[in-house]
C-alpha cells in the first residue's frame, strides 16, 4: 500500500503486478484501476500591469484586504519560508477552519519556515519510491524528505501567488522597487509532489499528486494551483490508461467541492494542439508578457541602437571591435575559431538552441572574448548564464531579425574597409507603452487534441521574466530570480482567485472562470494590439490566450456569468462516448465533506446533451457543416434591473443569429437562456476562424471567444 485516499474521493495506491491489477480490477467493489503516470514541472511589476496597485483603494486587491482570509494551495516542489519574502507582518490568526499542518520534518524547521503566512507544508514521495524501486535507506540518501524546496520552482510559484511585500529590491544592480505576490494577505499551503533526481530531471508522480489533492481538500484550501504537466497526448478523464485520467479526475473532485483548480497550460508552443490538460472544470492558463521588459542596449558605430535581452551588470563599455561569422552556428563550429581573431572583441554568432548557448559560453571561456552576443529564436526568458555555468563573459541575446541587422552592419563596414564597432550599455527597465504585449513563443497553443469543442486555453497571465523569491542556495540575487513559463502564469491566476474568493465567497469554480474569461483583455477590449510570438508573428487569437489577458478588476464585477454545476460536468463526461460503466466508475464513491454524503457514479441519459451546449464562457465548433444551434445561459450578478444588448463579431466565412438579442433582468428574472445559430457561408473545408459574442449594458462588456472550423 502506497496511499489511501479518503477525503475528496475513495481509493488507494498500491504496488501491483499486472496480474494482481487485473484481479483487483475485476472485484465488484473496485470501480477503477489506473497505472501511475509521471508529470514534470513547467517552468513585481506584473501586478501593477494587471491593475492591482496597492495605491488604488477601489481595485480588487484593496477591496478584499489583499486576500486576507483566503488559503491558496500549491502543488509543486516545496517551499523555502525562512525569508522576508514570506513574512507574516500584519496578518491575523490562522483561519479557524484550517485543518492542515506545518511541522518540523527532516531539515525543515517549522520555527523558521512556518508562520501565519505559510500555514501548511506536506510532502509526498511514495509514488516516486515505488516507480524507481527505492527503499527508505536509498531515498533518504538521494532526496531531502521534507517540504523544503530543493529546486526553487515551488518557492517561486508560491511567492507569485501570495508572497509578502519586499521593499526596495535590487536585482543585479537594477532597482526593481517593491515586489509582492498577487494576494499578499492570503495564506499559503504547500503540497510537495515535485522532486529532482541526480540528473536534474524533475519528477511528479500521479499517485503523489492525488494524495496532495486529497489532503488539500481535507485541509480546507480555497484554490489549488498546479504548475506541472504530462505528455502532449490528451487522455479522456474516463480513460483508464491515460495520464490525464489522474489529473482530470483529481481536479474534478476538487472542483466538485467548490475548489477552483488552476493549471499551467504548458511550454510546448507555438505549435497547435500542444495545450494540456483540457478538462472543462480546469482553469488552464497561457502565458503573456507584461508592460515591463529588461533590455540591454547595443549601440553600433552608425548610431543604430538595438535592444537586446540579458542582464549586463558591469560598467558601460566603450566602443569595441565587432566580429561575427554566419557560417559558425554550433558549439562544435566554435572550436574552429582562431582565438586571435576574437580576443578583445565582441563576438556575435547565430545559434539554434539554449543548450548551444551554455556549451558555447563554456567553450569561449578562455578565448579572451570581450562579450558574447547570440542571435537566436525567442528564448523562454532571461537567464543569468554567467552565474549558472560560472563563465564571466558578458552575454546578451537578440532575435534573428536583430541579428541580421548587426550582421548587415558588419558586412557594410568590411566592404568599406571600416572597423565595425559596437558598445554594450548597462541593462535598463522599460515600462508602459514602450513594450508590445504578446503571447510568447513557448506558451502551448490550442485547440485541444482530445476535445477541440472545449476551447483551451481559458485565460492568459504574465509568465515572462517574472521576479519572485527562491531558496538562497539556488542562484538569483538577494533571494529573488527571474523565471519564465506557464508555471509562472498559473500562480498569477491563483492569486487573483484568492482575492475573488474573498470578494465572492459563494461563487462556484465555473462562475470564477467565467468572470475571468468574459472580462479579459483582447483585441476588442484592450487599447492596443496583442501579438502571438512564433512562426510568423500574428495577432493573438483564442487558441493563443483563450478569452485574453486576465483583467482582475473586471472579473470582480463581470455583470453576467456563465455558471455550471456537477451535472454539467457529468454530461460532458457522458458526451465523450465512453460506456456507462466507465463514466460511472470515474465519478463514483465521491464523498461530499460539506454535506456528509456519498455520491454514487452517474448513469448517462439515453439522449446525451451535446457537448456544444456545455455552459462554457466560450464557443468552439470543430466540425461545422451547414449550421448548428447551441444554447447558453447567463446569470445576472450585477445591477438587479439591467438590459444587455448583443454585440457579435462572426468568424470569417460564418454568420451568427442570436435569439433573443436583448436580455432584460429584474428581481424575478436572474437567469436567461439564449440560442446561437452559427451558419457556414463557405462551402469548402477551412481552418479555424475566430470571432466573439458579447452582451453590453453600457457598463459591462461580457465577451466570450468563438472558434469555428468548417
Residue whose C-alpha is closest to residue 486's, from 450, 529, 457, 447: 457
Number of other CB atoms surrounding residue 180 within 10 Å: 23
Q: What is the C-alpha separation between 40 and 227, in angstroms, rounded?
A: 9
**Mind giving me the DSSP string for 125-152?**
-HHHHHHHT--HHHHHHHS--SSB-SSS
The reported pLDDT for the residue numbered 583 is 67
As a whole-number percent, the residues of the chain with pLDDT over 90 amount to 54
* pLDDT, tens digit (0-9, with 9 covering 90-100), for 87-146: 999 999 999 999 999 999 988 999 999 999 999 999 999 988 888 888 999 888 888 899
Dihedral, CA atoms, 265, 267, 269, 272, nearest 10 degrees?
Answer: -40
What residues contact 429, with CB distance under 8 A and at least 6 apart? 174, 175, 176, 292, 293, 294, 295
For residues 5-21, give the mean pLDDT: 81
Active-site residue, 76 included: yes
The reported pLDDT for the residue numbered 631 is 97
Instruction: Name the residue with higher pLDDT: 139 or 705.
Output: 705
Instruction: Name the residue with higher pLDDT: 201 or 159.
Output: 159
The reported pLDDT for the residue numbered 38 is 67
Q: What is the C-alpha separation between 25 and 28, in angstroms, rounded?
A: 8
The reported pLDDT for the residue numbered 291 is 81
Catalytic residue among 153, 156, 253, 700: 153
The reported pLDDT for the residue numbered 329 is 82
Catalytic residue among 44, 256, 487, 642: 487
Given a contact cutoff of 8 angstroms between Cβ atoms, the answer to whether 456 and 618 are in contact is no
As a whole-number percent, the residues of the chain with pLDDT over 70 amount to 89
Q: Cis link prior to 447 (omega < 30° from 0)? A: yes
Q: What SS3 class is residue 605?
A: coil
Residue 376 has pLDDT above 90, yes or no: no
For residues 155-160, give the mean pLDDT: 96
Tell me the three cell numbers of residue 597.
454524503
* pLDDT, tens digit (0-9, with 9 covering 90-100), for 232-268: 444 455 555 544 467 788 898 899 999 999 999 999 9
Residue 454 has pLDDT above 50, yes or no: yes
For residues 463-471, give the mean pLDDT: 92
* pLDDT, tens digit (0-9, with 9 covering 90-100), for 639-678: 999 999 999 999 999 999 999 999 999 999 999 999 999 9
For residues 565-578, give the mean pLDDT: 82
Residue 527 has pLDDT above 80, yes or no: no
The reported pLDDT for the residue numbered 606 is 79
Q: What is the C-alpha separation between 348 and 334, in angstroms, rounded?
A: 11
Active-site residue, 153 included: yes
357: left (phi over 0), alpha (psi -120 to 50) or beta: alpha
For CA atoms 493, 498, 502, 507, the dihedral sign is: positive
Residue with cell 484550517: 98
Q: What SS3 class is residue 49?
A: helix
Residue 48 has pLDDT above 70, yes or no: yes
The reported pLDDT for the residue numbered 516 is 98
Catalytic residue among 48, 68, 76, 149: 76
What residues contact 112, with CB distance under 8 A and at least 6 apart? 81, 82
Active-site residue, 487 included: yes
Mean pLDDT lowest among 17-21, 114-118, 250-254, 577-581? 577-581
Residue whose C-alpha is closest to residue 662's, from 641, 647, 678: 647
Predicted TM-score of the model (pTM)? 0.87
Residue 323 has pLDDT above 70, yes or no: yes
The reported pLDDT for the residue numbered 480 is 92
The reported pLDDT for the residue numbered 535 is 63
Q: What is the C-alpha separation between 234 and 430, in angstroms, rounded?
A: 39
For residues 490-513, give the mean pLDDT: 97
Q: What is the C-alpha separation between 272 and 325, in angstroms, rounded?
A: 34
Mean confidence (pLDDT) of the chain:
87
* pLDDT, tens digit (0-9, with 9 covering 90-100), for 277-303: 889 999 999 999 988 788 889 999 998
Residue 43 has pLDDT above 50, yes or no: no
Strands 371-375 and 689-696, bridge-based pairing: unpaired
The reported pLDDT for the residue numbered 569 is 87
Residue 175 has pLDDT above 90, yes or no: no
Give residue 41's pLDDT band: very low, low, confident or very high (50, 70, 90): low
Residue whose C-alpha is closest to residue 408's, from 341, 324, 346: 324
Residue 590 has pLDDT above 50, yes or no: no
Instruction: Name the residue with higher pLDDT: 699 or 430.
Output: 699
Strand partners, 250: none
The reported pLDDT for the residue numbered 19 is 85
Amino acid at each position: 500500500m502506497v496511499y489511501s485516499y479518503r477525503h475528496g474521493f475513495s481509493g488507494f495506491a498500491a504496488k501491483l503486478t499486472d496480474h494482481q491489477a487485473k484481479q483487483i480490477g475485476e472485484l465488484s467493489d473496485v470501480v477503477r484501476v489506473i497505472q501511475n503516470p509521471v508529470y514534470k514541472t513547467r517552468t513585481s511589476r506584473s501586478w501593477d500591469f494587471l491593475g492591482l496597485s496597492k495605491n488604488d483603494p477601489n481595485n480588487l486587491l484593496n477591496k478584499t484586504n489583499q486576500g486576507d482570509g483566503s488559503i491558496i494551495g500549491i502543488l509543486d516542489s516545496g517551499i523555502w519560508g525562512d525569508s522576508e519574502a514570506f513574512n507574516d507582518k500584519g496578518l491575523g490568526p490562522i483561519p479557524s477552519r484550517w485543518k492542515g499542518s506545518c511541522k518540523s520534518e527532516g531539515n525543515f524547521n517549522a520555527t523558521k519556515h512556518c508562520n501565519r503566512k505559510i500555514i501548511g507544508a506536506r510532502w509526498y514521495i511514495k509514488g516516486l519510491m515505488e516507480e524507481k524501486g527505492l527503499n527508505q535507506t536509498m531515498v533518504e540518501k538521494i532526496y531531502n524528505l521534507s517540504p523544503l524546496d530543493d529546486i526553487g520552482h515551488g518557492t517561486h510559484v508560491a511567492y507569485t501567488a501570495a508572497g509578502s511585500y519586499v521593499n526596495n529590491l535590487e536585482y543585479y544592480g537594477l532597482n526593481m522597487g517593491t515586489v509582492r505576490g498577487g494576494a499578499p494577505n492570503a495564506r499559503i499551503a504547500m503540497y510537495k509532489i515535485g522532486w529532482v533526481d541526480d540528473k536534474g530531471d524533475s519528477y511528479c508522480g500521479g499517485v503523489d499528486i492525488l494524495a496532495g489533492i486529497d489532503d488539500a481538500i481535507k485541509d480546507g484550501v480555497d484554490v489549488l494551483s498546479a504548475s506541472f504537466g504530462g505528455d502532449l497526448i490528451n487522455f479522456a478523464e474516463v480513460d483508464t490508461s491515460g495520464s490525464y485520467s489522474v489529473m482530470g479526475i483529481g481536479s474534478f473532485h476538487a472542483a466538485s467541492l467548490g475548489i477552483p483548480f488552476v493549471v499551467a497550460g504548458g511550454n510546448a508552443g507555438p505549435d497547435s494542439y500542444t495545450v494540456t490538460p483540457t478538462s472543462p472544470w480546469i482553469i488552464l492558463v497561457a502565458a503573456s508578457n507584461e508592460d515591463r521588459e529588461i533590455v540591454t542596449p547595443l549601440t553600433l558605430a552608425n548610431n543604430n541602437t538595438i535592444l537586446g535581452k540579458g542582464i549586463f551588470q558591469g560598467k558601460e563599455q566603450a566602443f569595441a571591435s565587432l566580429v561575427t561569422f554566419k557560417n559558425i552556428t554550433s558549439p562544435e563550429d566554435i572550436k574552429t575559431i582562431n582565438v586571435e581573431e576574437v580576443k578583445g572583441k565582441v563576438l556575435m554568432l547565430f545559434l539554434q538552441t539554449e543548450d548551444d548557448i551554455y556549451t558555447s559560453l563554456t567553450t569561449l571561456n578562455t578565448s579572451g572574448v570581450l562579450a558574447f552576443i547570440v542571435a537566436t529564436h525567442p528564448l523562454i526568458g532571461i537567464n543569468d548564464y554567467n552565474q549558472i555555468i560560472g563563465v564571466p563573459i558578458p552575454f546578451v541575446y537578440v532575435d534573428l531579425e536583430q541579428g541580421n541587422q548587426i550582421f548587415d552592419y558588419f558586412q557594410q563596414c568590411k566592404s568599406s574597409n571600416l572597423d565595425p564597432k559596437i558598445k554594450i550599455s548597462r541593462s535598463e527597465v522599460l515600462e508602459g507603452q514602450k513594450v508590445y504585449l504578446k503571447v510568447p513563443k513557448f506558451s502551448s497553443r490550442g485547440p485541444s487534441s482530445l476535445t477541440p469543442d472545449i476551447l483551451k486555453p481559458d485565460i492568459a497571465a504574465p509568465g515572462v521574466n517574472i521576479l519572485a523569491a527562491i531558496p538562497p542556495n539556488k542562484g538569483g540575487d538577494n533571494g529573488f530570480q527571474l523565471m519564465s513559463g506557464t508555471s509562472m502564469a498559473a500562480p498569477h491566476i491563483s492569486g487573483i482567485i484568492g482575492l475573488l474568493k474573498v470578494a465572492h465567497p459563494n461563487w462556484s469554480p465555473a462562475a470564477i472562470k467565467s468572470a475571468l474569461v468574459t472580462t479579459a483583455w483582447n483585441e476588442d477590449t484592450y487599447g492596443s494590439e496583442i501579438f502571438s510570438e512564433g512562426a510568423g508573428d500574428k495577432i493573438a487569437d483564442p487558441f493563443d490566450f483563450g478569452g485574453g489577458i486576465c483583467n482582475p478588476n473586471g472579473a470582480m464585477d463581470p455583470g453576467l456569468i456563465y455558471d455550471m454545476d456537477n451535472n454539467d460536468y457529468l454530461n460532458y463526461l457522458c458526451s465523450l462516448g465512453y460506456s456507462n460503466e466507465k463514466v460511472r466508475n470515474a465519478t463514483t464513491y465521491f464523498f461530499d465533506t460539506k454535506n456528509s454524503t456519498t455520491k454514487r457514479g452517474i448513469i448517462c441519459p439515453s439522449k446525451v446533451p451535446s457537448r456544444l451546449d456545455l455552459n462554457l464562457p466560450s464557443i468552439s465548433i470543430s466540425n461545422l457543416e451547414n449550421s448548428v444551434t447551441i444554447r447558453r445561459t447567463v446569470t445576472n450578478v450585477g445591477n438587479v434591473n439591467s438590459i444587455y444588448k448583443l454585440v457579435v463579431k462572426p468568424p470569417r466565412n460564418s454568420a451568427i443569429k442570436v435569439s433573443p438579442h436583448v436580455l432584460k433582468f429584474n428581481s424575478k428574472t436572474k437567469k436567461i437562456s439564449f440560442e446561437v445559430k452559427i451558419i457556414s457561408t463557405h462551402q469548402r473545408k477551412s481552418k479555424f476562424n475566430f470571432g466573439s459574442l458579447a452582451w453590453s449594458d453600457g457598463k459591462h462588456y461580457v465577451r466570450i471567444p468563438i472558434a469555428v472550423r468548417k
